[in-house]
A = this chain, B = another copy of it.
Amino acid sequence: MNRLPTEIRVTLPDWLPRRLSAAGPCATEAERMRLVIGLAREQVERGTGGPFAAAVFERAGGRLVSAGVNLVLPANNSALHAEVVALMLAEARVGSYTLHAPHLPEHELVTSCDPCAMCLGAALWSGVRRLVCGAGRADAERIGFEEGPVFPESYRYLEAHGVAVVRGVLADEARQVFDLYRERGGAVYNG
């Protein structure tokens, strides 16, 4: 008898929904990124996981649809990068396996760092029409995190498939969270 596992449960840390329960719309790109970097910082300060956060917003108006932080360490799950968590939760909220559907407004993914290879693919499949990134690949690598097989063509592929990409938004603030993570001796799980 092989008792295979059959269920996975993904749960956000308690502090996150509490922190965002009063979050209003974020009109500008900077406001959206600041919210996301704030989550990454709180994640590091509370020691609940890797120094990354992401959120899905409605493109027009900036309504917050979902937010995620990196749960690799607390959940023992290497796929639960912040972007994947935020995208899964957004799709659950709208009840659709794509955020790009005729009955839905356009959505964007805002992430505190350039996505890794997995998350770049996940962003494409999610149907977000815009990807906004804070810190860069080199910043993640500087504190020991790998980003995997992402190439300039990878971003061009997204653009060619209707996903606008904006990088380097509030990059200094995002990098400061990485520095804090390193100062606190945070674990690197894919170096």
Contact = CB atoms under 8 A, between A and B. Distances in A.
Interface of A: 1-12, 16-17, 20-24, 64-67, 72-73, 75-79, 84-85, 87-93, 95-98, 116-122, 124-127, 146, 148-149, 151, 153-154, 157-158, 161, 189-190
20 contacts: A4-B20, A4-B64, A4-B67, A5-B93, A8-B10, A8-B85, A10-B10, A76-B92, A77-B88, A78-B125, A78-B126, A79-B84, A117-B118, A117-B120, A118-B118, A118-B125, A121-B121, A149-B151, A149-B154, A149-B157
Contacts of A3: 21
A57 to B, nearest CB: 11
